[in-house]
Amino acid sequence: MPKVIVANYKMNGSKKLYATIVKKINKLKVMDTRIVLCPPFVYLDEFRLKNRSVSLGCQDITNEDNSKSTGQISPSMLLEFRVKYVIVGHSERRKLGEKDEQINEKVKICLNNGLLPIICVGEEKKSDKLDSVLLQVEQALKSTPKDTSPIIAYEPVWAIGTGKLPEVARINRMSKKIRDKIRDLGYQNCVVLYGGSVNKDNFKEIISSEIDGLLLGGVSLRIDEFIEIVKGIDNE
């Protein structure tokens, strides 16, 4: 299975920066890696992607089936901009008050409209019980069709943007627990990504673990370093 690398640009960037990123990404040659770029909504149209290995994603979606939702973005709007993937339940949105129930609504809205949710889960503190993460997985997937292959990004909140990294053994343990949980819930397959403080100096150690790919935050804005990571993984 190809490795998956997701770039979450968060609330960063400019037309100028994204023009540079898109130019370099369109020239990038990879054999066995799927890349997903998730810019802020207002820059989606800057991402005229001409690379079969690269897809467009975004960082959120509405949880409501109702056009009277000021400030929300609907699935049909995203599809019009060629978006395929949606990051759902990122810890930075959970911090703003997003609850498991809304995350589940967003996951269902994605799946009902042909969009693929990338569901973010992770414990707050290093000392937290890892089973809380499995509860997040279960809640996010409640009442979704079993013939889908959920994409889960395991992102320990304490590792996001902090430079702190879990031991590979912890990532492996969590990845196995998530896969077992998803099988127990009745899904045939899943994709498990890791995210949190990955950079060019540590990605090799992490990709050697039992995960299917990475969700990259800060480093995705440094396009040359991002490409170095993608090539390093593609050549593994």
Alpha helices (H) in 11-165, listed in sequence order: 15-27, 75-80, 91-94, 100-112, 131-141
Among 14, 20, 32, 161, binds ligand PEP (CB under 6 A): 161
Best CA proximity match to 193, nearest among 136, 150, 135: 150
Q: How far apart are CA 174 and CA 179, in angstroms?
A: 9
Q: How far is the CB of 196 from ligand PEP (least distance, A)?
A: 5
Query: What is the dihedral angle through the alpha carbons of 152, 174, 159, 222, rounded to the nearest 10 degrees?
Result: -50
Q: Does the active-site annotation cover 90?
A: yes
Residue 89 interacting with ligand PEP (CB under 6 A) = no
Best CA proximity match to 84, nearest among 141, 36, 29: 36
Residue 121 interacting with ligand PEP (CB under 6 A) = no
Q: How far is the CB of 194 from ligand PEP (least distance, A)?
A: 9
Residues 169 to 228 in contact with ligand PEP, rule: CB under 6 A:
195-198, 215-219
Q: Tell me how many residues contact ligand PEP (CB under 6 A).
A: 13
| Binding site residues, ligand PEP, CB under 6 A | 8, 155, 160-161, 195-198, 215-219
Q: Which residues are catalytic?
A: 90, 155
